[in-house]
Amino acid sequence: MRRKSVGALLSALVFPGAGQYYLGRRTRALLFLAPAVVAAILYFNFALDEANTVADQLLSGKMAADPAAIEAQLASAPTPIGVTLAEIVFVLCYVGSIAEALVVKPRE
């Protein structure tokens, strides 16, 4: 398997920037890794807050332990613009990291 293919697979299956690190492109790896980590932290922090809210409502008896009620509660909650931007940044880093590993010619 070619090194570029391995790099693309690492970026796809491990985390954005892992393929660039494998290929020896440390600076580019950080350019993909840093924003992806920040975006992932923001997104998972929001998801954890939502899960805690639902769990608190279930434990206090304010919400029935019904999957449809839980889904309705989660669907009605507005998503902050920062979380939406974090999703977009992560997807761009993910796709860009894979494409960069496949397309950019390595230094010989």
13-24 pLDDT, tens digit per residue, is 999 999 999 999
pLDDT at 85 over 80: yes
Q: Are 6 and 15 in contact (CB under 8 A)?
A: no
Q: Are 43 and 59 in contact (CB under 8 A)?
A: no
- Whole-angstrom Cα distance, residue 52 to residue 47? 9
Place of tokens 């880093």: 93
pLDDT at 46 over 90: yes
Mean pLDDT of the 70-93 span: 91
- Whole-angstrom Cα distance, residue 48 to residue 43? 9
pTM above 0.75, yes or no: yes
Structure tokens at 51: 């899960």
Q: Which of 44-48, 68-72, 89-93 has the lowest mean pLDDT?
A: 68-72
Closest listed residue to residue 53, CA positions, set 71, 67, 74? 74
